[in-house]
Amino acid sequence: MYLIIESTRYVIVFFFLTQVASSLLNALMGFTIIDYFKWGIYEEPENIFDKTQNFIMKVFHGFALYTYDQAEENFNNWFAKKLFHIVGLVVISAVSLIVYYGVYGTLKFIFY
């Protein structure tokens, strides 16, 4: 049972850590890093390999790409865009902590 709990913990930490890291890069570097992320995404994937690459890129950088697209769509001011990215970073950090401790506490309660 210990292996199930620890494996689940590590999967959750890995997933949210990549989201937070890409959101931090988004807040610091802006369009430079987003353009780099978007190079790895095919607009119209033709085969299973392209679809798999799109899935992996969206899993690892999905929140950063989403906040960037929303900021570009809704704000014209550079400062407002940066503030939106920073607020998104704070939100994804808080959500990741809540989900992590919620799932970990539930698993500990069930299996211990």
Please give the chain's pLDDT, 112 residues, in tens: 788 889 999 999 999 999 999 999 999 998 888 888 888 889 999 999 999 999 999 888 889 999 999 999 999 999 999 999 999 999 999 999 999 999 999 999 998 8
To the question of pTM greater than 0.75 for the whole model, the response is yes
Report the distance separating Cα 90 and Cα 23, nearest Å.
9
- Cα-flanking dihedrals φ and ψ of residue 35, to 5°? -60, -40
Residues spanned by the domain of 30: 2-111
Number of domains in the chain: 1
